[in-house]
Chains A and B, each alone.
Chain A
Amino acid sequence: MTAPDLVLYDEEFQRIRDSLQRLRHDANANVVFLVDKNGQQIAAVGDLQSLDTTSLASLTAGNVAATDGLARLIGEKEFSILFHEGEKDNIHISIVAQRVILVVIFDERSSLGLVRLRVRRATTELDKIFEDIAAKVEKEKESLQAEFESPFAEITDEDIDRLFSE
């Protein structure tokens, strides 16, 4: 491995946030967030104070991974949409650009139909952004590797000892 697998530039990160923000507004949702398939949160917008987003990201990825496993067992490539209905809040999960998971949490102020509709539009947007990122990474790959000065190149044993000193 030479560089981290997922590279996010500021510009695209902002575009992603804008897109999530718009989706949240248009779908009347409480929270919208994006996680990669390994459970790392990429971006989140909305009413996040009362929410443990780290756990949410990890469980979402676990959920999608388990469902992917199920899909393959019956000969499907994946189930691209998962929906969990609660008494008050609901979760809509979908796969974007084959590698990231889009999660929308909404309540009775919205509806599954509206969320699905808006998610579809946002997915097109996000697909495009991730395509652009991939193209950019590909284009700048060589210069990235040449110029990329990892902040960890100088890491020492003392740095690591300090992490565990408390």
Chain B
Amino acid sequence: MTFINYAAREINCKIVYYGPGLCGKTTNLQYVYDRTNPAAKGKLISLATETDRTLFFDFLPLDLGTVRGFKTRFHLYTVPGQVFYDASRKLILKGVDGVVFVADSQEARMEANVESIRNLDKNLKEQGYDIATIPYVLQFNKRDLPTAVATDEMYRQLNIKGEPTFEATATTGVGVFDTLKAVARQVLMELKKR
């Protein structure tokens, strides 16, 4: 749910990074955090285990500037990717405005990618959203790895509706901002339809 505050002339949107365990959701956020002007970002909050696996969510508030006189603020969240944290994933999808699906390019993780998209579809439905209509972007992460599956093969297996798709290496930042920008664009364009 986009929260538009006309009194403060502010608009808040929630973007969720989804994907299987260890695909690089937190790394995406970390890169955005590292590369953003300190005045434009809040604290990066990570609720993680001692081994740095996301336990509940990561959260990064981002002020992107103004659109049509409204201050635009994006709240970026990640979900815990591991299969058994499904209850937490559902909670984080509440009120979502746009989803980035981070797929792991390694061949051994293709099945996990497919399973995670299926899980996303199911959890969105439970919250009353439809993956076919919600702003949605697909990212093929870890393109730098030698075991990366060819992109057209990944696209064939993971594409749902011809969504914007980006190749990325989140550790070095390749494709990270392109992905974010694409989902932000869709979320803001969605407001136009209201």
List chain A positions with a Cβ less than 8 A from chain B: 1-6, 8, 10, 13, 36-40, 52, 54-55, 58-59, 62, 65-66, 68-69, 150-155, 157, 159-160, 162-164, 166
Contacts and interface: CB of A to CB of B under 8 A. Distances in A.
Interface in B82-114: 87-88, 91-92, 94-95
Interface hub of A36, A69, A163 (most chain B Cβ within 10 A): A163
B72 to A, nearest CB: 6
27 contacts: A1-B194, A4-B1, A4-B4, A36-B3, A38-B14, A38-B94, A38-B95, A39-B75, A40-B12, A54-B61, A58-B59, A62-B47, A62-B57, A62-B59, A65-B92, A65-B94, A66-B88, A69-B91, A152-B188, A154-B192, A157-B185, A159-B188, A160-B181, A163-B65, A163-B72, A164-B181, A166-B65
A110 to B, nearest CB: 27
Interface in B1-53: 1-7, 12, 14, 37, 42-43, 45, 47
B67 A152 contact: yes
3 shortest A-B CB distances, which residue pairs?
Answer: A38-B95, A152-B191, A65-B91
A159 B56 CA distance: 34
Contacts of A39: 14, 75, 95
B68 A58 contact: no
Given A55-B45, A62-B91, A164-B177, A154 B184 contact: no
B150 interface: no
B70 A151 contact: yes
B160 interface: no
B: interface residue count bin: 35 or more
Given A38-B95, A66-B88, A163-B72, A4 B3 contact: yes
A150 B95 contact: no
Interface of B: 1-7, 12, 14, 37, 42-43, 45, 47, 56-57, 59, 61, 64-65, 67-70, 72, 75, 87-88, 91-92, 94-95, 177, 181, 184-185, 188-189, 191-192, 194
Interface of B is mostly: mixed
Nearest to B8: A13
Contact of A58 (B5, B61, B72): B61
Contacts of A164: 64, 177, 181, 184
A157 B56 CA distance: 34
A152 B5 contact: no
Given A13-B7, A160-B189, 14 more contacts: A6-B3, A37-B95, A38-B14, A40-B3, A54-B42, A54-B75, A62-B92, A66-B56, A66-B91, A150-B194, A155-B67, A160-B181, A163-B65, A164-B184
Nearest to B194: A150
B138 to A, nearest CB: 19
A4 B194 contact: yes
Contacts of B2: 4
A38 B72 CA distance: 17
A162 B189 CA distance: 14
Contacts of A153: 192
A106 to B, nearest CB: 23
Contact of B194 (A68, A152, A166): A152
B94 A37 contact: yes
